[in-house]
Amino acid sequence: MTNRTAFITGASRGIGRACALALADAGARVAVAARNTAQLQELAGEIRSLGREAFPVSIDMTSGDSIREALTKTAKDFGPISILVNNAGITKDGLAIRMKRDDWDTVLATNLTGAFLACQLVLQPMMRERWGRIINISSVVGEMGNPGQANYVASKAGLIGLTKALAQEMGSRNITVNAITPGFVETDMTANLSQDLRDKMLEHIPLKRIGKPEDVAAAVRFLASEEAGYITGHVLSVNGGLYM
């Protein structure tokens, strides 16, 4: 993927940050997008210190205008986007019976609609180039469900469906579309969980450890590569065996 431009949403920390470093290491020119521009600048500096190219860009995944602006600016100033990693995601947990409509709408808008809009915007240039990689970061809960997360689960399950539909639409253009379903991974999203909850989770993970962002990034790096050119519409589990 040398000199191909990769665009990663939610890149300022956690899985997105690890993906940016992994793709940069593989030779891609990396556009890192998130709301926190200070963290993006720091990440871009780290990537440049490795002798790679980085392009930090602000994005709000709930805003179609912001998504369009970020992707257009990247393509214009940094090069046409060949690899899209839809990683941005938020949670607003609560039991479905009491869930506020706004909490449902915001999570779906960020995690699913935002990812769809980003896909729409990169597909045309990818079709012209007859080469593209779209990798949607879903979640193990999108496959197995999780109480208290109806909005998040629906958004992540939706990403799997979106992945399969786009894979079928785009296969003849040499554009692959795949999803990754991380399990329990050490990120800011899981950092506040109690030790008791962690211990209970580990009981259900055959590999007996919590995943690292780098575990997911390695899968992203593979699916973005030339070697993965005959894989599309696939859901790759990176969950330590939590769900099979």
Structure tokens at 21: 């470093």
- Cα gap 30→11, rounded to integer Å: 10
Check if the beta carbon of residue 175 is closer than 8 Å to that of residue 133: yes
Judging by beta carbons within 10 Å of its beta carbon (0-12, 13-18, 19+), is residue 44 exposed, middle or buried? buried
Check if the beta carbon of residue 182 is closer than 8 Å to that of residue 137: yes
243 catalytic? Reply is no
β-pair partners for 7: 31, 84
Continuous H helices in 130-244: 141-144, 150-170, 195-203, 213-223
Q: Give the list of residues 6+ apart from residue 161 with CB closer than 8 angstroms, or none.
A: none
Which residue in the list 82, 152, 176, 228 is annotated as catalytic? 152
Q: How far is CA 31 from CA 44, 97, 143, 191, 196, in A?
A: 9, 40, 29, 26, 38
Candidates 222, 160, 219; CA nearest to 1 is: 222
Residues serving a catalytic function are 152
